[in-house]
Structure 1
């Protein structure tokens, strides 16, 4: 027997999601901003008017102009270019932290849901404890324990948010 839903599964999902976003004005605005920022981060080398790290001391602290729409900083670097490339760096950081959260939180949530009993209680109480601390205090504790650096930064932020991910199993 032929499955009537198979060929239209993806378009149906897209139309359902689009209908929800069209109905909810705040979600539509947030989604639009997210898509625009994603496009800007992907097209950063083509959209940035200048090299974001090129130092030109003769052009330092300029006001907004046609050549430098947001002006320049104290080292003569174009602020708009730095902002555009900063979006790219921020998205990269967010994706790395999200990946860490998923790598840690999803298996813990699955283990808690599958095993049940005392394993579930142990994992959920640990997630509750992590969730009750203020995130800035917990971030300081994680950094003081595991040190500073890029890997430690991403691991620390991933550990901060892993509690709610575990609890939604």
Structure 2
């Protein structure tokens, strides 16, 4: 029969009948012609007028029985789920659309975040890494006895506080070294 559900479609109808709150099912299905993506929604008898033809074969129009036979499509009750509306498309089309969408989103993310990362990297190098490297070179020089090397203080941030602390430490070290040298000379 041309409108009779196959086993898979019948199982969808049974799931809808088993859970009246279920409003939609979707997924992939393998058919001889290839894989498809389907979306199914329940169809219920919502009008009394439907029961005029589908309650019992005795009251059904003769043309309906001639087309579909007396065995199927009868015994319906009001608000009962009797079928499923299924829309399907080839899975390759769905997966192709998903790939295109993923590529587009990744392109947008790269277009937005790559320049942002480059700018942040530049700012981090300029305001943190470069001053810390300069302090490391100055600390190395001071540790080798070059007491005229100063830790540069250019900003009003944590790097500036660190440079100030290093300069105070260098001054304390210089005073301690001078006192040691004075005691040594005595």
TM normalised by structure 1 equals 0.29
Query: By percentage of residues, which structure has more helix?
Result: 1
- Whose strand fraction is larger, Structure 1's or Structure 2's? 2
Computing the radius of gyration from Cα coordinates, the structure with the larger value is 2
